[in-house]
Each structure stands twice: as structure tokens, then as C-alpha cells.
């Protein structure tokens, strides 16, 4: 598989640079593919049969310690086609602390995305409730009674019919950035779920993936409490695509 790159490692955590095309967590649908979770277990010397996954009854939630085991310490998620920074805790204590920081919005994330059209205004925010759509449970949208979600954005570069945008999600809802850009009528380049079938098909003839990259993250180190920052440059395929747009 296209292996994740280790950006940083100590006795508390791993900071990975995830390539596009790799699913983060194992599930019933990933039996025949390597996941980031498999990579983490190999890197940390964990054998699959050492993981004791406790089955819970209906309505029962797993404990934080069980979540640490079940996810092999992976603190959060990125979509399969999204590349960039992913945090992995090495201890239950670090896992619980990092999840607390995500929940309390202490973690600061920055994404880079290429979207259709020119955003007006060039910077701003989206603050709307997001929830799963009843008619298609694989998709999310702006729904009454949905969970609060907020994303700040800033245009970095405009092209003929596209814009490179920096995004700062203040919450962590599933597909949040993709749904928010769709809500503004500026869907992400190559987005098969939210960009429209015809548009996404045309996009993917030029770039066969979603243009979304988790570029930066800042949080408090789970042991020292000091703020730490990590960055991931645009992958070669995305950078080459942008260079091609400038050359037109």
C-alpha cells in the first residue's frame, strides 16, 4: 500500500501523514485492504489477536479505554481520499487527553481544498446544523435539528473557474468541509458525493481524487501540556495539478 509517513514520534504519540486512498480504521468493508490501523499496529508491534474488542449491548457506549484498544490509538479520522495529518496516541492516557482536546475544540486544524468558482466574500464562515440525510444515509447535509457545525475559510488563490481555499473547521462533523462548501455552492473539486455527478466525473478525468488535504494541526502535548504544531505539504499530485492550472 501507499504507506503513511511518520512526521513525529515520541513515547506518547505518532503524527502521521496519510496518503489519499487509504481508509483509516478497519471495518467489515475493509477486509481485503490495508488500512492506517494495520500500519499503526505493525509500527507499534501490536498483533491483531492482542486487541480485545469488547462487544457492547444496544445503547451501551464503549469506554475510553476500549475505544483506545478498538482503534489502535487513532484519535480522529480522515476520509479515505483526504490526505494529510492524523494523530495516533500510544497510551490510553494520551488517547483520552487528545480526544478531550478535540471535544473541547482546543485542537486547531487547517485544511487546503480546491473548490469550484470564486468565493464572495473571499473569506468568511459557515455556521449551520449538519446531519445525516434520511434519503441517503451515506450522505450528510444541512438539516433542521442537526448538530452544530462551523467552518472558517479564506481564499488563497483564484484560477479561471476554481479557488484554492484554506479552511479552519471549528467543529468535527463527518464530511463537514465538503457539506459546507456544497452549501455555499462551491463544492470541492472531484467530490463525487456532494459535487454533482456530471461535475465530479469531469473533474476526475483531470485529477482522480478529491482535492482536500489536512495541512496543519496544533494541540497541547498530552504529557508536557506545551502547544505543538505540525505541517504536511501538499502531496505531489495536488501540487502538480495546481502548477498545471497556473501554466494555463
> pLDDT tens, 74-108?
999 999 999 999 999 999 999 999 999 999 999 99
CB atoms within 10 A of CB 178: 23
3-state SS class at 162? strand
Nine-digit cell at 29? 468493508
State the pairing for strand pair 108-116/162-169: antiparallel
Q: What is the pLDDT of residue 157?
A: 96
Would you call 101 helix, strand, or coil by DSSP?
helix
Residue 134 has a pLDDT of 81
Mean pLDDT, the chain, rounded, equals 91
What integer pLDDT is reported at residue 59 of this predicted model? Answer: 59
Mean per-residue pLDDT for 111-126? 97
φ and ψ at residue 60, rounded to 5 degrees: -85, 135
- Tally of CB atoms within 10 A around 51: 14
Query: Among this protein's residues, is 38 annotated catalytic?
Result: no
Do residues 213 and 111 make contact, with C-beta atoms less than 8 angstroms apart?
yes
Structural domains of the chain in order of their starting residue, each with its CATH number: 5-247 (3.30.2350.10)
Residue 46's pLDDT is: 77
Q: How far is CA 245 from CA 22, 24, 192, 210, 237, in A?
A: 26, 30, 21, 16, 13
Task: Using CA atoms of 110, 111, 116, 119 in order, give the dihedral in degrees to the nearest 10.
Answer: 0
pLDDT for the residue numbered 45: 84
pLDDT tens for 157-183 read 999 999 999 999 999 999 999 999 999
150 and 130 in contact (C-beta within 8 Å)? no
190-241 tens-digit pLDDT: 999 999 999 999 999 999 999 999 999 999 999 999 999 999 999 999 999 9
CB of 124 within 8 A of CB of 42?
Answer: no
Give me the pLDDT at residue 136, please. Answer: 79
Answer yes or no: is pLDDT of 155 > 90.
yes
More confident residue, 46 or 154: 154
Contact 122, 91 (CB under 8 A): no
Given 10, 11, 38, 79, which residue is catalytic? 79
Chain segment 3-60, per-residue pLDDT in tens: 999 999 999 999 999 999 999 998 877 778 899 999 999 998 876 544 555 555 555 7
End-to-end CA distance of the chain: 33
Amino acid at each position: 500500500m501507499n504507506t503513511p509517513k511518520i512526521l513525529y514520534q515520541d513515547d506518547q504519540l505518532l503524527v502521521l501523514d496519510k496518503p489519499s486512498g487509504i481508509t483509516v480504521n478497519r471495518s467489515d468493508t475493509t477486509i481485503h485492504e490495508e488500512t492506517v490501523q494495520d500500519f499503526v499496529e505493525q509500527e507499534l508491534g501490536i498483533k491483531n489477536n492482542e486487541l480485545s474488542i469488547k462487544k457492547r449491548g444496544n445503547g451501551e457506549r464503549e469506554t475510553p479505554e476500549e475505544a483506545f484498544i478498538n482503534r489502535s490509538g487513532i484519535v480522529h479520522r480522515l476520509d479515505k481520499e483526504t490526505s494529510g495529518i492524523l494523530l495516533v496516541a500510544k497510551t490510553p492516557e494520551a488517547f483520552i487527553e487528545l480526544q478531550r482536546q478535540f471535544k473541547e475544540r482546543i485542537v486547531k486544524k487547517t485544511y487546503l481544498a480546491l473548490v469550484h468558482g470564486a468565493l464572495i466574500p473571499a473569506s468568511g464562515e459557515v455556521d449551520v446544523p449538519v446531519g445525516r440525510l434520511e434519503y441517503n444515509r451515506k450522505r450528510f447535509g444541512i438539516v433542521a435539528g442537526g448538530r452544530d457545525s462551523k467552518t472558517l475559510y479564506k481564499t488563497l488563490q483564484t484560477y479561471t473557474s476554481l479557488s484554492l481555499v484554506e479552511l479552519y473547521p471549528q467543529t468535527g462533523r463527518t464530511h463537514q468541509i465538503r457539506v459546507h462548501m456544497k452549501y455555499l455552492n462551491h463544492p470541492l473539486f472531484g467530490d463525487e458525493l456532494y459535487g454533482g455527478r456530471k461535475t465530479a466525473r469531469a473533474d476526475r478525468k483531470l485529477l482522480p481524487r478529491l482535492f482536500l488535504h489536512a495541512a496543519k494541526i496544533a494541540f497541547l502535548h498530552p504529557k508536557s501540556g506545551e502547544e505543538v504544531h505540525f505541517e504536511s505539504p501538499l502531496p505531489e499530485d495536488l501540487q502538480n495539478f495546481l502548477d498545471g492550472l497556473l501554466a494555463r
